[in-house]
Structures are given as structure tokens and as C-alpha cells.
Structure 1
Amino acid sequence: MNITVIGTGYVGLVSGICYAELGNRVICVDKDRAKIDTLLGGGIPIYEPGLQELSVKNREAGRLSYTIDLQEAVRQSELVILAVGTPSLPSGEANLSYIEQAAAEIADVMNGHKIIAVKSTVPVGTNERVRDIIRSRTSESFDSISLPEFLREGSALQDTMHPDRIIIGADNHEAAETIAELHRPLTDRIVVTDIRSAEMIKYASNAFLATKISFVNEIANICEKVGADVTLVAEGMGYDKRIGHAFLKAGIGYGGSCFPKDTRALIQIAGNVDYEFKLLRAVVEVNQDQRFSVIRKLETIFDGRLEGKTIAVWGLAFKPNTDDVRESPALEIIRHLTRSGAHVKAYDPIAISNFQSMYGEDSGVEWCGGAMEAAAGADALCLLTEWDEFVQADLQELQSILRKPILIDGRNVFKEEDLAETTFIYYSIGRPRLNQGVKEEISALHY
């Protein structure tokens, strides 16, 4: 099949490369010439394990190309996929200006029947809006498809090539069958719905996963107060098939480009039809507060005085195996630390550059070139992203280079046996049994 994918962000680029890997001829289009030049040069403008190698492989095989020429791409293709960004507006609503602009540009260059599929995450009714825009600008025939994506950054290739399901929203059986046939090499779990239901499935899925995360974090906070271990609680809960283990890992909350944006958008979608989504509002509020659990633990240790303290931070990306720092808990945590007078030594294996661009100038942050460099001489270390490099760190060495052996584990990566040969003052999330004796150890320290 001849496919054009408009937009080379996470969704568009991964989807385009994977469609090419399936044997289709794919043209990826973007207005950003720098991105296209990077791709043409064999690079990748995002960090995603395995993606660069797959891009080069399919370009060399002649199945994949990159261009800024939307007209030529659309005219060569039977299927045109919109995968442009839909960032949040200040109100929480999705900004649809990019997708509306893309729809108009597609209409202006169409040269025959096309299937127009929207893969961007969009509010209910957007596909109809796209259809209306195209109809108003061309007499060519086309079919509209909602084709929501469910990939996770850091495991996007796995999620795309081995999806849990494919959702197709359509009002034309033949077009739906064409899209189903495209995806059958990936899975037989293909669900065809009306277009509005497909649009809602994406938001409902992300909202539910965000709810599981906030729920287990609330349980973790209670566990700390009653002396239970949230990791054991979550394990016991997860064996119930109605619940499952996925997304029941306590920590400092979710971030990234999807969950924060989509939960806010769904709250706004509900509000637009005079419905108050009370549960989802609570999910967002819990997640926002959870990242400050790290700050509260530091304030407990230092009697509320962070001024003059040196705090090491391991991890700036919102999750491991990505350089994405959008809505990363580290943004607010570091900002709070520096505003409280602390000096921050920060390190991330991949995301420092992106974090610096988003965070801006701050004389209170020292950007480090390695994990141990960041930890050296610090009064405390906060682990915010569970990169393998941090999980596999030599804790004996780490303890020896910290000024004080204080470790705040915001992702619960270390186990009892990991800490057995150390004297760390150790705080995790919802595991008070690992913190026995912490108060006594803190009282013995002098600052």
C-alpha cells in the first residue's frame, strides 16, 4: 500500500517506519526542514530504542522516504495519515489548529480518491471536523477513518509491531476493511466502531491508566502511615484478573505528552457537554501532588530547611528509554528545590539537553556528565527516573561519595537486599518497612 504520514513526532515517525517494515511504501512528511534533514542523513530527531536502525534499513530497501513536499506525497498515496501534534491549550482543550491546517492542505492537493485517517489524539467530533474541512475545499472523493494509537514512549516499536488491539472508527465498510487488512499482519484483535466511539476509546483508555497510577499512589501514601508495603499490596491486587498488575507501581506520578494532556482534555470534553468528571479531576490532582512527596521527605530529613543543601537528582526524562521531558516530575521538583535555596546537581543519560531547553536558565542547577559525578558531595540523592544505569548502580560506591548517606527513591527501584550492606537513610514511596530506624539515624546527623 502507498501511505503518506503527515507529522514526524513520536506517533508519525514510529508509525511510518513500522508501516514500511511491513512492506508498504511510506512517505513521511513534515514542515520542519531540520527534522527532515536529520532523517535524510540517517539520524532520528527523537530518542527511541531501535528506531534509527529500522529507519535506515527501510530507506535502503526503498520502502521509506522523508520529504517536506506534502503535495507530491499525497498524490502518490492511497492512504493519508494525520499524525500532527494536538498540544493542550491553557483551558486544557486540545489545540486542533495543526490538524485543521493539515486537513486543508491535503484537500488542496488531492488528485483522486483517498482514505484520510486521523492517528493524532483528538476530541470526539474532530474527524467530522476534518471531513468537513476537506469537503469544503475539494470535489475529490475520500473516506474518513479514526485510527487512534496506543504506543508508549520507550517501547514504541514493540507496541506498534505487537499491539494489544487495533481500533478503527469508520462509517464506510470498504474503507474499514482496507485499514483492517493493513493491520492484520500485526494482530487479529481488530475492533471496528463508529468514528466517535473510536475517538473516545483513546481518551478513555489513557484516563483509566492514569486513574490506576493515581489510585496506587494514594494507597502508597496510606501504606506509609499504617505500616504496610505498597509493593506487596499491589502484587496481591494484581493477581486479580479484574485488576491486573500493569500500572500499579507506586512512585512520583505520571508525566509525558499523553496522560497529562489527555486527562485534561477529557475533563474539558466532559465540561463542554455539561458533565463534571469528578473522578478524573481527582486523578489529576493526586498526580500533581504526588511528585512533591520527594520534597516532603527531604523537608522531613532537613527539618524543613533546604537552603544551602546540595541535592543530587538522578533522572530528568518522565520515564526511562526516552528523551521526552514534557510534564516530567523533575521539572517541578528541581524548580521547587532551587527556589528553596538548594543547589541541584542533575544528571540523565539521554534527556539533559531537552530538559535544559524546557527548564531554562537557573543558576541553582549544575548539569553533570555522569551519575556519580552528580552524587559526589551531595547532602542527599533523589532518584526520579528508573534508568537501568541508576538501578544497577554500585550502592557501596554511591554511599562513599555522598556527603550524607541519604537516598530518596522516587520509583521504588531498590530492594531490601540491595540496601542490606549499606547504612543509607533510605526513603521510598509507600514502603515504610524499608525505612525502619530512619528517624533515629536522622537525629544522629548534624547539619
Structure 2
Amino acid sequence: MSYPGYPPSGGYPAFPGYPPTGQESVYPPAGQYPYPAAPGGYPPAAPPAAGYPAAYPAPGGYPGATQAAGMPPYPGAPAGSGFGVPPAGPAFGGYPQPPAQSYAGGGPAQIPGYPGGQAPSPMPGPPAAMVQSTQGTIRAAPNFDAGRDAEILRKAMKGFGTDEQAIIDVVANRSNDQRQQIKAAFKTMYGKDLIKDLKSELSGNVEELILALFMPSTYYDAWSLRHAMKGAGTQEKVLIEILCTRTNQEIREIVTCYKAEFGRDIEEDIRADTSGHFERLLVSMCQGNRDENQTVDYQKAQEDAQRLYQAGEGKLGTDESCFNMVLASRSFPQLKATVEAYSRVANRDLLSSIDREFSGNVERGLKTILQCALNRPAFFAERLYHSMKGAGTDDSTLIRIIVSRSEIDLVQIKQMFTQLYQKPLAAMISSDTSGDYRRLLLAIVGQ
């Protein structure tokens, strides 16, 4: 596998970064709870559920730590059905809990902890009307002409000075695939490497951002992982952010690209740079073997919840391998059902149990997996918020997430950002960045 112009001579600026892809529905992924789809994903945008965070998420939960109350009843729910009534026990992970349901009739044996004492049979995914499709802020430009765009970029860099706005207008309004075509056309037309020319004309954060935009998505992931482990020290948050959020196909492509481009085995690099239960979690993630069946098996969710409780809260010490097995292998819809079952079994949400039983990077990795199962756009919205919160800006994280989600679900991430922090993502970017860097970020994000 080769990518034109990668890696260019001289290398890239040393910024810790990454990205992902994958078309995944936002919460609720399995549709078993009767809430109509809301534009901002879960929870419904209006009226907000009581207990949903109005600003910065509390440290004990994600993203918030209070139980929702008074969830609106589902239109048309039969009287006494329990639809719209929050179940007893703490809210899982700080998200408002889905309503309790009654399961009448025969079926499975009585199981303690389930509403009505019965576990429902496995159910298929949601009807099409209830699925919230993901959407990026950048889409392929219509009437695309790679040669014309290459000419625009050449003129923007030719002679004295650089027309940064012309460069921004092109790169922020083309898909990644179209940028690869522009790069190839530039070399064909002018016999020069576009990436080298851009590096010679730009500097700082805007250079880092534009180079990231011109990297093929899979290469950007692989490159980011390599630089997170290269040299002294390891950027564990980058490893978690990529390996714990990608689809099976994306991970397998990253592993293949990593080997082809850097001549190294990613699993061996992980083993050399990490250790213990964190190492084992990342190695599990590298296999790209998570179950992708979208059907939720509630019986298995109950069994997994019991297993996790007995491996943690229900015993002295922690059986880390049990947590690794469940969180690394179950589908995201199945994990969401397990989180819900756990709150009934343990009278505590699973994220807070992981807080109590684990620490450090393995804790962050396990929580990232669960947060993506509950609400992936909210997870990335939280990461963006923390990249800009307080003094200074974590520009590499900001760039990495904006670029990597720009064609996947940045629209939903923006909606969740506003819902969680009561301010638009674009407003926070405007107040935290400046110059051409700010203009390019805002062009990608959209107002």
C-alpha cells in the first residue's frame, strides 16, 4: 500500500495526532427504548431531561453525574406500561436512563433485576425512521475538477507571499478523496510535490492542519499511532482515542497501513510501549474482532452485567480480564444494554464502577469504549471541549478530531457540544484560536 508523496522527505512536524471513520448511528443505536429520534441524538434536545448537564460534565460521570427524572412519556404509550418512567437506581454514566418497560406474557424465566422479573428475547435493531444517520460537515464538492484546483493552489503559492485564503477555500471544501486527486494532479501538471510546496509556504498550526487534511484517512490514523509511540515517552491518550473508537474494518486497515508504511508491527510496538492490563486492552483492540451484530440480546446483557459485577464490585479485588473480555468483544448496542442491566444489578452505573475498580490508562480506555457505546458524538464533543478549556489549547487534539470526524459525524458532534456546554463549537474555536488557523478550522466546522 503506498500513498503518493508520503512520507515526504524531511518528515512531518512532530504533532501527536490521529482520526477515524465509520458510519455509525448515534444514541440510541438499537432502538429498544421508545424515544423518537432527536436531531441532536440522545438525550432529546427539547425539553431537556432533568439532571442532564447544563455545562461542564461532572468528573464522576459522563458527561454528568445525576439521575434523570421525569423523562417525557412516549406518545401513545398504554397506561401503566411504565414507558417514560425512569427506573430505580442511578443513571448510567450520567446519561438520562431510558424508561423502564414491562414485559408481559410468558417467555424467559424470571431474572432478578429486570422490569417485571423477565428478560426480553433478543430484539432486532430499530426501524429506519428511528435511526439517526451520521453526517459530516465536509462532503465531496460537485463539479469537481482536480486540475483546476491544482492550478488555484499553484497560483496561491507562486511568487512573493502566499494567498492563504485561496488555499483554505479549496482544502476546506473538498473531500479527502478529492484532495488526493488534487495532489496527484499537481504533480502531473507541475512536476512538484504539493505537500512539500505547502510545507515551504505555511507554518505552525495552520501547516499542521492542512497537512492532516491532505493525508489519506487510514494513513493519518496509522501515522498518528506511530508518532504517539515514537521516541521517548508514549502518548497514551492518542492510542486510546484511535484504537478504542474505530470500527473493525478501520482497525484492520490501520494495522495493514502501519506495516506497509513504517515497516513495523503495531502490536509489537504497543507491547514495547505499554504494559499490564492497558497493554492487553490495546492488543485486544488491534485485532478488529468486535462483534458487529446490531441485534441486542438482553439475556446476554444481563449475564454480562452479573459477570462484571462479580468481577469488580461484588468481590475483593478486580478480575480485569473479565472487563477486558466483555468490553473488547461485545457490539456497541450490546454494551449499551449491558450498561443498563448493570445499573439494575449493582445499583450503580458501570462507568462509576470502573472509576472505583481501575485507574490510569486502562480506566480511560475502558471508559472510552463505554462512552462510545452510549453516545459517540458526545464523547468527541467532550474531548474537543477539554482541548480548549482553561489556559492554552491542545491544538493536536483539536486538529485530530476536527479533521478525522469532518466527513463522518461532525454535525452531530457540534449538536452535542452545544447541548452539553451551552455554547456552539465554532464560538469556542473562535475565542481559542486566531488567524488563518482559526479561519480554516471554522471553514471545516461551519458556523
- TM normalised by structure 2 equals 0.24
Greater strand proportion: 1
Give the structure-1-normalised TM-score.
0.24
* Structure number having the greater helix percentage: 2
The structure with higher relative contact order (CA 8 Å, sep 6+) is: 2
